[in-house]
Structure 1
């Protein structure tokens, strides 16, 4: 069939021309390769790992070997393979559209694939929960200015205990989105769902979920309204942290991202290992890179009781604590592993964040210019109440162009929440599952007791009195 007579049932000529080349390549493929392409593009969420294809394709005993068919589709440029710990396959959106056109024009082959792979075809298609961009909402209507990357809507279905929940009209000038909720109610699940919505079901070939979930997120990104569904298309820079964030890569692993050091690993697993900022500091110091002084100043700003960070013998990073906050007296220098858990948590997480954002923004030097979205589970963990209260403000000062989405069990970080913060409560019941509810509350000048008895924490007045536990 010639391209001039290509039976595309579309009215838009531009669209027709854009998929003609893929359609002709599909025509050239062997029947078994076409069946495999349909399976990959129409029934499985990409990227598709080789091990999953091997499992699904096991019944095709009379066709060519799976490896040769994948090679054929790759050579036809209908699929792209990516190496790593697990080989995965990706495809252009127009390949899926071309397959749909082909199936409509070849009903016999369409019936064959639906008969063989109907269980996959029927259940694996994605259904975006957000179909159209929404109007921008601002806290400051007199000077409306969005963050470079800001979440506007979140819609989640069929993930863990979340049956279906959504939030709309999130102001695009809000730098902090706080999640509260009781233990086991689903705060971590909400953060994980947001990560999957932004990145997809895999992170560096590591499967994040095999559930048939649907997660859509609308973003304001560099001035444009963009909708991403299960990480497609991938539009923004982001990093994510779970409650375990004390461990950094050791010397033997610091040159590579190990399996436990992917962008989202610590949010989904308790044994995450963060990227080693000390190796980066040493490298910047020895090469006289301006990032050394900038990152050192950033860490010291976030560690008010730290007098200095030094490079010892050109080979070791050490930390020098003040005797008192405003004192010139200092303690003996210590290596990272001997610091208190609160300090280790800050250095490990902020160091990892800086490394990842620098990788995502290779031309940026000044940390204040970095942009993106950061997810943090249990923001208050390991911190004294004084630092809990200052922590959101410190992060806002150091990263003014980054949006933070954080869960907390403590009222204290909320006492000095930055202006224009948004507050959500996570609830759960058997009928509705996990729900995300926005709590519109002015927390300015509220005392801890007032916050504890507010809808964010739901304590009764009697619950905060002495001997209240019955």
Structure 2
């Protein structure tokens, strides 16, 4: 298949002296073949800098300026990061690491005209943007921004979603000109209303005729299929019933969008918070693709970059294990860059691009491509460098096991300590192991040991 000339994806972020990041840090956003990674999952403790990474990527997206006919002394740079348009120095000051006058810098690299399945050796056009914030005595004295590009100038469609993401009501017209990344920076920012999106697409496909009607019908069908697959309780697209906007003076069941679930047919607005949250940002992606690519026969197949903070928010464990597969299926040309706290999300992403942010002596450090094994169990994942827990056991069990080791190493025990050790031995031997096969093996070993002990006692 031919490369997509409209596609542009992130491949690298460098930052230095940016908030929690002191030394020069690099986030690799490529797959093992050197292509832009379709999925990157960023892990790390609260407050260590995951959201900062997403915000830096978002604001370093390239913007192209028309420099033709401009006087040389007033000529803007042909390319610069979106952040260069920031007029509030307080924003830049807050971005730079506090407690130092060292220069703060950001740089990203992107690749255009590519596909996620492009041959590894295929050469594509490169784009980069950069920004340096110079300070003296706590004040910003200079800001230098620019970039480089080879080939066609393509601005990416970047959609960003913060942890406070939520859908608005009746806001399609009002939000049309709102920045598609606002949710990542403002918890009060609304996403497009899912119900109104469905109303609008339904109205268009009823109004149009001929080929346009077929295209409009396909767009509505695509969004309903997306929602039906991502939302677990909806079995088929046909289970989403669009009854039109609610009108004053009519019965409640004469309008709105209704959803057939195993527990009955209910208004879409009455679904759980988890459903509402996922519907909000997935339908927001779809609606923005539809508007950004109006001439496309299937805008959901067009390229974009989607950035999601805490992608596992409100998701049941089973849902966490399927969300990546479903999003990839319905948005095959979208690059996803997300943060998460869930070991289940990490387990599902062991075959993708992973990064971990750690706090080392008060400085955030990015570990790209941490050592992982694709077949790890959950207990192995949470005790690995991905999450850093000392044990998969509950804290009280760990304390009991540590006490048992302490008593076992003491050659002189009192009567009460011997009794305590026997009780701890019984407790530890009765603990379940990590899986059913291990449990069966341990049961056989314990039974054999009990028989041997019985035989020795009898003899």
TM-score by length of 1: 0.61
Give 1:319's aligned residue: 258
Q: Larger C-alpha radius of gyration, 1 or 2?
A: 2
| 1:228 is the counterpart of 2:129 | yes
On the 8 A contact 1:241/1:267 being kept in 2, the answer is yes
| 1:152 is the counterpart of 2:14 | no
On the 8 A contact 2:29/2:353 being kept in 1, the answer is no
| 1:257 is the counterpart of 2:190 | no
1:404-442 Cα distance to aligned partner (Å, 9 max, x none):
1111111111222274x11101112456x2221113344
* Residues 245 and 168 (structure 1), Cα distance of their counterparts in 2 relative to 1, 3 Å cut: closer
On the 8 A contact 2:258/2:266 being kept in 1, the answer is yes
Distance 1:394 1:353 in 2: 14
Structure 1 unpaired stretches of 5+? 1-142, 324-329
Q: CA deviation at 1:216?
A: 1.2
Give 2:41's match in structure 1, choosing from 175, 178, 191.
178
Q: CA deviation at 1:379?
A: 1.0
Give 1:296's match in structure 2, choosing from 224, 241, 245.
224
Structure 2 unpaired stretches of 5+? 62-80, 97-103, 114-123, 132-144, 148-153, 206-215, 247-254, 401-459
Written as runs of structure 1 = structure 2, the 5 A alignment for 1:68-467 is 148-163=7-22, 164-168=24-28, 170-171=30-31, 172-198=35-61, 200-201=82-83, 209-211=91-93, 213-222=104-113, 223-229=124-130, 235-246=155-166, 248-251=167-170, 253-257=171-175, 262-288=179-205, 289-290=216-217, 291-307=219-235, 308-313=239-244, 315=246, 316-323=255-262, 331-336=264-269, 338-417=270-349, 419=351, 421-430=352-361, 433-461=363-391, 467=397
Q: CA deviation at 1:381?
A: 0.7
Distance 1:456 1:144 in 2: 37
Distance 1:249 1:277 in 2: 8
Distance 1:339 1:205 in 2: 41
Q: CA deviation at 1:346?
A: 1.4
Q: CA deviation at 1:188?
A: 0.8
* Residues 144 and 313 (structure 1), Cα distance of their counterparts in 2 relative to 1, 3 Å cut: closer
Distance 1:148 1:443 in 2: 31
* Residues 292 and 194 (structure 1), Cα distance of their counterparts in 2 relative to 1, 3 Å cut: same
* Residues 445 and 184 (structure 1), Cα distance of their counterparts in 2 relative to 1, 3 Å cut: same
Distance 2:30 2:292 in 1: 25
Distance 2:302 2:112 in 1: 14
TM-score by length of 2: 0.62
Report the aligned-residue RMSD. Answer: 3.1
Q: Which moved more, 1:460-469 or 1:400-409?
A: 460-469
* Residues 202 and 279 (structure 1), Cα distance of their counterparts in 2 relative to 1, 3 Å cut: farther
On the 8 A contact 2:290/2:300 being kept in 1, the answer is no
Q: Which moved more, 1:311-320 or 1:285-294?
A: 311-320
User: Between Structure 1 and Structure 2, how many residues are aligned?
Assistant: 316
Q: CA deviation at 1:367?
A: 4.7
* Residues 396 and 430 (structure 1), Cα distance of their counterparts in 2 relative to 1, 3 Å cut: same
1:214-273 Cα distance to aligned partner (Å, 9 max, x none):
321111121311112359567312111111123x2222x4312289x5322221222221
